[in-house]
Structure 1
Amino acid sequence: MIVSVQQPFFCPYPGFFFKASVCDVFVLMDDDQFPQGTTWMSRNCFKNDQGCLWMSVPVHTKGLGLVRINEVKVCDGRWRRKHLESLKSAYKNAPYLGDHLGLFEKVFAPGYTRLADMNIEIIRYAMEFLGIETTLVQSSDLGLRGKGSRLIVEICTVLGAGAFMAQRSALKYLDRKLFEQAGIALVPMTPPKIVYPQLWGDFIGNLSVFDCIFNCAEASRGIILKGRRQNPS
């Protein structure tokens, strides 16, 4: 069994879901420390007639010190309606916006107070739409408190995994000796270049996966998952 991990980004880019598709268990690290400064946890890029349309979810972190991702709460205010209207305007010519607008009406409603809950709901929705059947686990449910490579080894051990998958560029940061001692293989993953039909001029890569979904609907599955044969699964 192959395990991989990722923090629960806001409206992640297509490569996030490709990574999820080539492992057996995908662990969302929702109890990692919330990053300071600009972060993909609360920000991502869509596209409009001006190019990149950045959307940021305002969160309460000031004065809290170091907090875990699943402890961060979103702010109240007009941003919810503003983001929804921005999506409608940016993708008014996209053929499949209407099929998925209900998701954003739901997660941008006041009922979602924690950022992690909102992000994970979005991730689950996209995985289901893309037909990714990988088991999704939240790290907070595992009750582990290790750090770095030791935490990854603990996650793999608890889940009964014999291999851990990461992008080639990330493997150099892992303590290979710890994995060898635990009998866990390190598996490199190479994300493919994902290109698809877009609105508004020249193609911009690595936007939110919903840019692809709004434009390509069911075809997004083949577009995003096409490189799986060259990667382990």
Structure 2
Amino acid sequence: MRITIHQPEHIPWLGVMYKLTRVEYLVILDNVQFRKNYFGNRNRVMGPQGPTYVTVPVHLSGHTSNTYRDIQIVQDNKWRKRYLGILRDGYRKHPFFQDYFSAMQEILDRPWTHVAALNEEIIRFLCRSLDLSIPMVRASEMDLPKSRSTELLLHICRKVGATEYLAGSQAGNYLQEDLFEAEGVKVLHTDFVHPTYPQQGTREFVSHLGSLDLLMNCGPQASRIVRACGASSNEK
């Protein structure tokens, strides 16, 4: 069984969604350190004046050791209004705005307390929208021994019975592949290439936005576009 393991990012970019087209199982890595000013509670979308961030405010002060699963959302409805306003103003003239904005609004309007749970629901929404049916499990619910980095990933692979692990393009900087090989787990590296798709409201294509941008622009064709982004380099 081939798996991938990923932190619960907010509106993941297409590189993550492409990986999900290549695997049979996703483990949501919610038991690792939350990264401030990264993508755990924000991502880029197309605003009315160009690329901008939508952000879910979270409590960080005094919680430097918190994992993703522990990070709580600021209980202030103003952020929802601001967030949805950015999406509405940036995408209301896009061809598939009505198809996806209402779904995002329904998700965001729920009484979320923790950002990882919100992010997971958005990931599930993106998967449904891209015709992806993939089992997901949270690492925090897997009764794993305390470990870090390669060791943690290996424990996860053992727990779910993985024989192949699809890693990101930067994994070579930290992953000890020999340890995987010793455990009989083959490491594959994605060779994702960002697609250029019809993007309304820009003179030049803007890449590396949250995957919602592709849906707003291309609708049902987004599924085909994501699947055509490349192939695992070890499988060529």
TM-score in terms of structure 1 length: 0.93
1:168 deviates by 4.1
CA distance in 1, matches of 2:45, 2:231: 28
Q: Which residue of 2 aligns with 1:224?
A: 226
Aligned residues: 232
Q: CA deviation at 1:5?
A: 0.9
Does residue 28 of structure 2 align to residue 19 of structure 1? no
Pairing 1:127–2:123 present:
no
- Deviation of 1:99 after TM superposition, in Å, equals 1.3
CA distance, structure 1, for counterparts of residue 96 and residue 178 of structure 2: 48
CA distance in 1, matches of 2:178, 2:232: 27
C-alpha deviations, 1:122-173, integer Å up to 9, x for none? Answer: 0001101101123222111212132111111111111111111113431342
Residue type of the alignment partner of 1:102: S
Mean Cα displacement is larger for which, 46-55 or 203-212?
46-55
Q: CA deviation at 1:230?
A: 5.7
Query: Is the contact between residue 76 and residue 110 of structure 1 (CA under 8 Å) also seen in structure 2?
Result: no
Q: Which residue of 2 aligns with 1:93?
A: 93
Give the unaligned 5+ runs of structure 2.
Answer: none
SS at match of 1:74: coil
Q: Gaps (5+ residues) in structure 1?
A: none
Matching residue of 2:206: 204
**Paired amino acid for 1:53:** T
1:176-196: CA deviations, max 9, x gaps? 232122111111211122111
Q: Which amino acid aligns with 2:73?
A: V
SS at match of 2:112: coil
Query: Would you say 1:190 and 2:191 are equivalent positions?
Result: yes
Equivalent residue number for residue 148 of structure 2: 147
- How big is each residue's C-alpha offset from its partner over 1:61-109, in whole Å with a ceiling of 9 and x where there is no partner? 1012310101111112201111112211111101111112222222322
Name the CA distance, whole Å, in 2 between partners of 1:30 and 1:222: 29
Provide the residue aligned with 1:39 in structure 2.
38
- 1:228 offset after TM fit, Å? 5.1
Percent of aligned positions that are identical? 26
Question: What amino acid is aligned across from residue 207 of structure 1 in structure 2?
Answer: L
Root-mean-square deviation (Å): 1.7
Question: Distance in 2 between the 1:100 and 1:180 partners?
Answer: 42
